[in-house]
């Protein structure tokens, strides 16, 4: 759950672009290798040879969500592309005490670098500090630790940017419609990322005085909650022009509710970049017209960064000898016009 402070390095592209930048000096992929899987768009370049062996420890939360499962898969797939990289990956847990124990085990194994996506950034800050003090650099993935001393580099998505770009996409399509109305299907209000996505959306709508948000429901990032909360929105709002849904997983349920209600009178924008959402956008037969990326390919880029740290390299395409302190990925909007470009990054 990253913050949106100015200290993050903004990259002008999705994780696909970030991956290309990060790997320009760190790859050992054969020139004619074909890239497959969700991180194919961020495949390593071919102008580098295997370097010093590096053992990377990877600890993330339980993969109980499509996006989190894609995070794990991207990390595994990326590590396999490097013959000199050994990946020590934990089972994953949403219990902070369990995850702290898993990271402690990786520290005790004396891995060269740690990549940690904490179930709770604040709660795992101390274990990040412990690793750094032990001389093991930490790549903090997505949900940010409470102290910058707990990580060498943070890399993650832009939650505020997701909402901002969703709002601007909707705004441009409704800017000429008098008294347009929109509704919002948010994630979990207990999470800071949900608040940031809503704030970005609200700020974007300020640029379109003809558009008014008339309803908002918070769901729980699950198919079931998406269907239930969307059904409530549809019942309470017999007419509106657009919907911003924070998460494509809960969007599967939301679309079921829309179909059951027989509604086709609005446009929908999703979030995260699920393959099912991209397929629906490509077919252009329903209300879903776009999704705003929160790319799980960030895990592949985290492996690139960890490898660079372990081998004391910088980042290709940048003049500095060291990797950046933070990298914020851009929240690209996927539409029918550009969906083919992003399909390889869609997750199940």
pLDDT at res. 63: 87
pLDDT at res. 48: 60
Q: How far does the chain reach from its first CA to its final CA, in angstroms?
A: 21
Q: What angle do CA 220, 13, 293 make, to 5 degrees?
A: 15
**Residue 344: which of 42, 32, 20, 82 has the closest Cα?**
42
Every domain of the chain with CATH number 3.40.50.2300 lies at 15-157+295-330, 159-293
**Residue 29: which of 43, 19, 42, 15 has the closest Cα?**
43
Q: What are the per-10-residue average pLDDT scores of the chain (348 residues)?
A: 36 40 40 37 51 96 89 95 96 93 97 96 97 98 96 97 98 98 96 94 98 97 96 97 97 98 97 96 98 96 96 89 95 98 93
Phi, psi angles (nearest 5°) of residue 198 = -65, -40
pLDDT at res. 1: 41
Q: Thinking of the domain 159-293, which architecture would CATH place it in?
A: 3-Layer(aba) Sandwich (3.40)
Q: Thinking of the domain 15-157+295-330, which architecture would CATH place it in?
A: 3-Layer(aba) Sandwich (3.40)
For the chain, list the strands marked E by DSSP.
54-59, 85-89, 113-116, 138-141, 153-156, 180-186, 211-218, 242-245, 267-272, 288-293, 326-328, 333-334
pLDDT at res. 47: 36
Q: Extract long-range pairs of 97-103: CB within 8 Å, 24+ residues apart.
A: 99/59, 99/61, 99/124, 100/124, 100/126, 100/127, 102/59, 103/57, 103/59, 103/127, 103/131
pLDDT at res. 36: 35
């Amino acid at each position: 759950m990253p913050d949106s402070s100015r200290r993050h390095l903004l990259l002008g592209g999705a994780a696909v672009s970030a991956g290309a930048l990060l790997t320009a000096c760190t790859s050992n992929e054969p020139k004619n290798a074909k890239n497959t899987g969700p991180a194919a768009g961020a495949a390593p370049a071919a102008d580098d040879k295997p370097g010093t062996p590096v053992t990377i420890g990877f600890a993330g939360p339980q993969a109980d969500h499509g996006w989190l499962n894609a995070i794990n898969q991207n990390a595994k797939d990326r590590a396999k592309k490097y013959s000199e990289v050994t990946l020590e990956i934990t089972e994953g847990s949403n219990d902070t005490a369990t995850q702290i124990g898993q990271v402690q085990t990786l520290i005790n194994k004396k891995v060269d670098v740690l990549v940690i996506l904490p179930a709770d950034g604040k709660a795992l800050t101390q274990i990040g500090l412990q690793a750094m003090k032990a001389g093991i650099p930490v790549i903090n993935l997505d949900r940010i630790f409470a102290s910058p001393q707990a990580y060498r580099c943070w890399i993650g998505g832009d939650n505020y940017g997701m909402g901002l770009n969703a709002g601007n996409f909707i705004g441009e399509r409704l800017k000429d419609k008098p008294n347009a109305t929109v509704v919002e299907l948010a994630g979990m209000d207990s999470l800071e990322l949900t608040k940031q996505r809503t704030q970005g959306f609200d700020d974007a709508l300020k640029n379109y005085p003809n558009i008014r948000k008339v309803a908002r429901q918070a769901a729980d990032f699950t198919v079931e909650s998406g269907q239930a909360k969307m059904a409530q929105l549809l019942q309470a709002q017999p007419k509106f022009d657009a919907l911003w849904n924070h998460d494509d997983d809960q969007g599967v349920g939301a679309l079921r509710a829309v179909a059951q209600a027989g509604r086709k009178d609005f446009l929908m924008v999703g979030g995260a970049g699920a393959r099912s959402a991209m397929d629906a956008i490509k077919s252009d037969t329903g209300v879903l017209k776009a999704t705003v990326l929160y790319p799980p390919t960030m895990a592949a880029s985290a492996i690139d960064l960890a490898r660079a740290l372990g081998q004391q390299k910088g980042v290709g395409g940048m003049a500095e000898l060291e990797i950046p302190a933070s990298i914020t990925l851009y929240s690209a909007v996927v539409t029918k016009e550009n969906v083919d470009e992003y399909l390889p990054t869609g997750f199940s």
